[in-house]
Each structure stands twice: as C-alpha cells, then as structure tokens.
Amino acid sequence: MTDKSYWNDTEHGLRKVELRAAGFNPDDAAKRHPVVTIASPYTNAHRCNNRVQQIAELIIDALEQRGGQGLLVGAPAVSDALTQGTANAGYSLVSRDLMADCFETGHFAHHAQAMIVISGCDKTGAAAMMPLARTNAPGLVVYPGTSSPGAVNFSPWAEKGDNLTILDYAEGAAAHEAGKIGAIELQQLEKSVMPGSGTCGAMFTANTMSCITEAMGMMLARGASHTADYHADSEIHDDVKTQALASIDALYSLLDNGLRPRDIMTRAAFENAITVAYAMGGSTNMYLHLLAIARDAQVPLTIEDIQAIGERVPLIANLQPHGPFSMKTLHEVGGVPVVMKELLNHGLLHADALTVSGKTIADNLADTPELKDLTRKDVVLSVTKPIAAANNHISVLSGNIAPESCVLKLGGKTIEHGEFRGPARVFDSETEAMNAIRDDDIVAGDVIVVRRVGPVGAPGMPEMVHLTIQLQGRGLGKDVALITDGRFSGVSHGILIGHISPEAARGGPIGLVRDGDTVVINPLDRTLNVELSDAELSARANEQQPHTTDNSIQPGTVLDKYRRLVSSAHYGCVQ
C-alpha cells in the first residue's frame, strides 16, 4: 500500500489508550512483535469451520509466548452443505470474495505485519490464499481438517470399509427416495458417515483447495489431509495442533528471511498446484478459485493455461468421488506429499518452487517414501498405471453453446463411443429440473440443461449438486448428462458440464437452446455444441427477449452488488 500516514503504523495501531480499553496490557502489548492477523472464518453454525476458534486461540497463545501478538479478523464462512438447493445458495461463491475482503480489510486496519489464515469449508479454502496474495504479508494457511469417515455393514457401502463420507449419505438419501434402500439403512448412514467435525471428507472442493494450497507451497507439508478431530465431542486432532504450532515456527522463519507470499505464489507454484489438483481428481470449482487467486497474486493465468497444464496429468489418487477412499485414508499413507513425490519423479512438478518452509518442493519431498515402499498400494497409483489417463477427468471445453468456455467433469470415466449425444431437456431453474427428475420425467439419453443459474443469473452461481445426487441415487449417473451455467459441488460426479460462459443472463447461447435440440458433448475434441446452424442460432437470438434484471434481488444487498460487479466463470468470477 502507498504510505500516506504520518504515524508509524505499529505505534498507531498499538497506541496504549486503545490497547488498555480493549483489555490488553498496554505496556506489554505496545512492544509486541510481530503483530499477526489471525484470519478466522469461525462459526459454530457448521462442522466445516466450528473448530477454527480453537485453532485461533492456540495460535494466539503460542504467538504470545514468543513475543508476538495475534489479532483476530473474522469473516462469514458459508457452508455449502447448508445452502445447496436453497434460495440462499448464491451466498456460497459470493462469500469467497467477501471473506477475502474482510481479511484484507482487517489486516490493514489493524496494522499487522504478518498473517496466518485458517481455512475450512470450500470457499474458505479459496479465500485463504486471496488475502495473503493481495496483502503480500508474510504468512501461510492452516487447515482445520476434514471430517473422519464412517462405515456401515450393508451393500453397496460396506464394500468401501471405513471410508464413508457425506457423499455416501447424500446418495443414500436419494436412493431411499427412489425406493432402493429402506429408512433403517438411511438412518445408519446418517449416524455413521461423519462422526465428528471437519470438511466433506474426500476429494471434494474443500480438500481440493487444501491440496492446492499445500502444492502451491502456502501450507506446510501434510497440512492438507488431516482430520479435524477424533469425534464431535473431542479436542481438535493432535495433527492439527502440530500443524498450527509448526506454522508459527514457519512464520518466524518467513519473517527472518523476508519471504513473502508472492515470492512463493509464482507461475511455477500455480503450475504445481494445477498438476496436483488434476492428479488427485479435484473439484471443478478449482478453475474459479485458481483464477481468482492468480489475479490477486498478480500471476497471469487463464483457463486455457489451466487446461494446458492439467491435460498432461493422469489421475492417480483413488479418492471419492471418482474412487472409494476418504481423505483420512490418504493422510494415513502419507498425504499429499506421496502424490507430489510420484509426480516429481516423473518430471511433472517444478522441483525448485519455494514453499513456506523456506525450502523447495524437492527439499520438502526428499524424505517422502516412494510408492513402492508404501504398505498400501491402492490409495495412490503410479503415473505409469493410473486410474485414468491424462485428460480423462476434468477439462475445459468450448463450442456454440459455450463460446468462452465450460468445464467437464467425468471423474476418470470415459464416455462410450467417445461422445454423448442426446435431446435437450431445458430448465430455467434448479427447482424445475429437480421436479422433472423426481417425476421420473428424465430418461436415459437426456441432456438436462439448467440455465439462468450463473454468477449474474442466480445470482451467485449455485451448485447443482442435488440434481447430480438424484441422478446417481436413481441409477442415471452414467446415462444422463447435465449441462449448466451454474456450478457443481466437488461431491458431484457423472457426465457433467458447468461454468458455461457466457451465461444465459448475459446473453450466452445456452439461453437459445430449446427442448428437443440435440446436444453433443465430445471430450476428446473438447467441444460442447447444439446441432443448430449459425443462422438458426442468430434467428433465435433476434427473437429472444433481452434478459431482464431479477427484481426479487433487493438493491444494496450483497447479491445485488455481486451481480453488478462479477465477471464470468471464464475469468474466475472475480470482481
């Protein structure tokens, strides 16, 4: 920031009259160094972030013992699980930028010299790196942890062992609704899948972002995969405590060495993060978040760059939603470093990228075991014998429905005959699409089109996860495609295309598709098209009424500001 102040920042921020009134010992607090922003998206409202306060207190106490001072800055953490499928779902993506703004604001307003961000639920994970990149204050991310998995003794879930997550409950609920399992089985799933706090427990969006943070070097090694606790009534997990305390050591070392986030969040670091996310089968939300973080880190990065880097990378982590295992199982075999070591050994990572440990990726991984030395060989597979070949998990497509771009999620599966072709079933809201699925009005071969649910249209680009769960629960996951200008949850799997840009509410051609039009998805060509001539699309565009502003959004609200400022998904929905 430009220095326009006549006060020394620290003197001003720690003036004794203010400190005394706020309950600090003024003589002691005025001398403390460093002043560290503890960016704390705490809430007791949901299990993803309800441990953040305990971690923040642990860090503040530890800093105090070393002569520093931790100052809390809060932010509204939104749980996707609590908002998906509701009228408030738009607040989820909106909260990413809101949280980053809160942390940036508090950091500068409190005149802090460093920053530790505690992450959590999906958007919190993205929002963790944005203020570090923006402020460039020495700092790093601490992850509160993922939820422990559970187990049941009936098929098909018994076969997964101790690896059940929220995905299993969600699909069980849909299977129950479709009459495939009974109420007792559903209750057993409900009681078993999440015995404690933490984020959704496999390679869903929160863990995608924690893995990206570790791979980018902004979190200590093995910090992305631990469980949050032992059970709902227990203390935070010892691994979380260890990470939090080690992160303070790392912070002092970053300060001593003058190492700042943008020294670490370089183009090479982004390429490493993208490579790891593709290798682990990350959530499609990563496209939005990587673009937003790169903007804040001042690293030129486009969605085409992400595709070009990712398409070299096979899928090797056998985690849900594409595989059977939970994050805890990955942690037990060594966590993200095991994946990174395999990628490094095959020349897929930049070995010399710096990390918050002050060392390079190669140095950090020097003692990580090779895959051949692991007892379990089914959790992380080799690059040479992967779960799916490169370019078979997520990729960026375009076509006459998505002139800018869209993202495809296949979860390591391949589409039979190389393409999916089917009649469009068009809906202008998630609710209308849900009603059609529940009425058994969607059949194998259909392409569900859900539009007007983009960043402007919804507003806030909600996740169509309950539609994908219904399709999976009804056994239609492999036979029905779903395309949308909205988003998907990391939990979603099937034949899915989201982030269609430009969105319908901004005049994108997805708004021109009609019931019965033939939609063609071709993963190999990376295209999404409707079989209509340019002349027909132009004629429809001329006939179409211009999109009108949704008057139900109250002027001045966060959603109102968001829809006026937000860019398309093609640019990461940055403001």
Which residues are annotated as catalytic?
A: 489
Sign of the Cα torsion 106, 52, 81, 83 reads negative
Q: Tell which one of 38, 60, 193, 200 touches ligand FES (CB under 6 A).
A: 200
| CB of 147 vs ligand FES, minimal distance in Å | 8
- Tell me the C-alpha distance between 518 and 419, whole Å: 12
- Tell me the C-alpha distance between 289 and 295, whole Å: 10
From the list 36-44, 199-207, 273-281, 303-311, the region that binds ligand FES by CB under 6 A is 199-207
| CB of 205 vs ligand FES, minimal distance in Å | 7
| CB of 199 vs ligand FES, minimal distance in Å | 3
Does 79 participate in binding ligand FES (rule CB under 6 A)? yes
- Tell me the C-alpha distance between 491 and 468, whole Å: 9
Does 127 participate in binding ligand FES (rule CB under 6 A)? no
Q: Are the C-beta atoms of residues 481 and 186 closer than 8 Å to each other?
A: no
Q: Tell which one of 80, 229, 271, 305 touches ligand FES (CB under 6 A).
A: 80
Residue listed under structure tokens 């923040």: 56
Does 122 participate in binding ligand FES (rule CB under 6 A)? yes
Does 193 participate in binding ligand FES (rule CB under 6 A)? no
Does 210 participate in binding ligand FES (rule CB under 6 A)? no
- Tell me the C-alpha distance between 321 and 447, whole Å: 21
Taking residues 344 to 363 in sequence order and writing x for each that binds ligand FES by CB under 6 A, - otherwise, the string is --------------------
From the list 133-141, 198-206, 374-382, 471-479, the region that binds ligand FES by CB under 6 A is 198-206
Residue with Cβ nearer ligand FES (282 or 523): 282
| CB of 122 vs ligand FES, minimal distance in Å | 5
Q: Tell which one of 37, 165, 199, 355 touches ligand FES (CB under 6 A).
A: 199
Q: Tell which one of 81, 277, 301, 559 touches ligand FES (CB under 6 A).
A: 81
Residue with Cβ nearer ligand FES (111 or 289): 289
Does 206 participate in binding ligand FES (rule CB under 6 A)? yes
| CB of 47 vs ligand FES, minimal distance in Å | 7
* Burial class, 121, CB count within 10 angstroms (exposed 0-12 / middle 13-18 / buried 19+): buried
Closest CA to 61 of 242, 255, 256, 245: 245
| CB of 200 vs ligand FES, minimal distance in Å | 3
Closest CA to 570 of 426, 312, 392, 398: 398
- Tell me the C-alpha distance between 486 and 91, whole Å: 13
Does 93 participate in binding ligand FES (rule CB under 6 A)? no
Q: Are the C-beta atoms of residues 90 and 559 closer than 8 Å to each other?
A: yes
Taking residues 42 to 61 in sequence order and writing x for each that binds ligand FES by CB under 6 A, - otherwise, the string is ------x-------------
**Residue 474, Ramachandran bin (φ over 0: left; ψ between -120 and 50: alpha; else beta):** alpha
| CB of 78 vs ligand FES, minimal distance in Å | 9
Sign of the Cα torsion 448, 449, 454, 458 reads negative
Q: Are the C-beta atoms of residues 92 and 123 closer than 8 Å to each other?
A: yes
Q: Are the C-beta atoms of residues 406 and 304 closer than 8 Å to each other?
A: no
From the list 90-98, 196-204, 318-326, 456-464, the region that binds ligand FES by CB under 6 A is 196-204
Residue with Cβ nearer ligand FES (48 or 221): 48
Distances (CA, A) of 358 to 140, 219, 221, 366: 12, 11, 12, 14
| CB of 528 vs ligand FES, minimal distance in Å | 27
Residue with Cβ nearer ligand FES (122 or 171): 122
Query: Which is it for strands 518-522 and 420-427: parallel, antiparallel or unpaired?
Result: antiparallel
From the list 54-62, 76-84, 349-357, 565-573, the region that binds ligand FES by CB under 6 A is 76-84
Report the Cα 177 to chain-centroid distance in Å: 28
Q: Tell which one of 121, 133, 236, 480 touches ligand FES (CB under 6 A).
A: 121
From the list 79-87, 366-374, 375-383, 474-482, the region that binds ligand FES by CB under 6 A is 79-87
| CB of 133 vs ligand FES, minimal distance in Å | 22
Distances (CA, A) of 517 to 307, 395, 522: 28, 24, 16
Per rule CB under 6 A, count of chain residues that contact ligand FES: 10
Distances (CA, A) of 217 to 46, 321, 358, 359: 28, 25, 9, 9
Which pair of structure tokens corresponds to residue 13? 């921020």
Chain residues that interact with ligand FES, rule: CB under 6 A: 48, 79-81, 121-122, 199-200, 204, 206
